[in-house]
Chain A
Amino acid sequence: MESRVFHHALKIQKEQCIGCSHCMHVCPTEAIRVRDGKAELFENRCIDCGECFRVCPVNAIIIEQDDFNKIFQYKYRVALLPAVLIGQFPEDVKASQIYNVLLDLGFTDVYEVEHAVDVLQNAMQNYAKRNEDKKPLISSFCPAVIRLIQVKFPAMVDHIILLHPPLDISALYYKQKLIGQGVDESDIGIFYVTPCAAKIAAVKSPVGEDKSPINGVINMDFIFNKVYAGVRKGDFSQNDDSFKENLSPEATVWSLTNGEADVMKGRCLAIDGVHNVMDFLEKIENEEIKDVDFLELRACDESCAGGVLTTTNRFLTVERLRKRARFLSDNKEKRSPNDMINYTQFINQGIELGKIKPRSMMKLDEDMAEAMRKMRRVKEIMKCLPKVDCGACGAPNCQTLAEDIVQERAVINHCIFIQRIFEKKGIIEWEQSYEIMKEIWGNDKLNRKC
Chain B
Amino acid sequence: MVFSQSRAEWFGNSRGDLLSGLVVALALIPEAIAFSIIAGVDPKVGLYASFSIAVIIAFTGGRPGMISAATGAMALLMVSLVKEHGLQYLFATTIVTGVLQVIAGVLKLGRVMRFVSRSVMTGFVNALAILIFLAQLPELRDVSWQTYPMVAAGLAIIYLFPRVTKAIPSPLVCIVVLTIVSVALGLDLRTVKDMGELPSSLPMFLIPNIPFNLETLGIILPYAVPLAVVGLLESLLTASIVDDLTDTKSDKSRECAGQGIANIATGFLGGMAGCAMIGQSVINVKSGGRGRLSALVAGTVLIVLVVGLGDAVGRIPMPALVAVMIMVSIGTFSWASIKNLRTHPLSSSIAMLATVIVVVATHNLALGVLLGVLLSGIFFAWKISQIFQVQSTISDDGRVRTYQVHGQVFFASADAFGDAFDLQEALDRVVIDVRHAHFWDISAIAALDKVVLKFRREGATVELIGMNDASATIVDRLAIHDKVDGLDLVPGH
Do A and B belong to a common assembly? Answer: no
Residues of B at the A interface (CB closer than 8 Å) are none
Which residues of A line the B interface, CB within 8 A? none
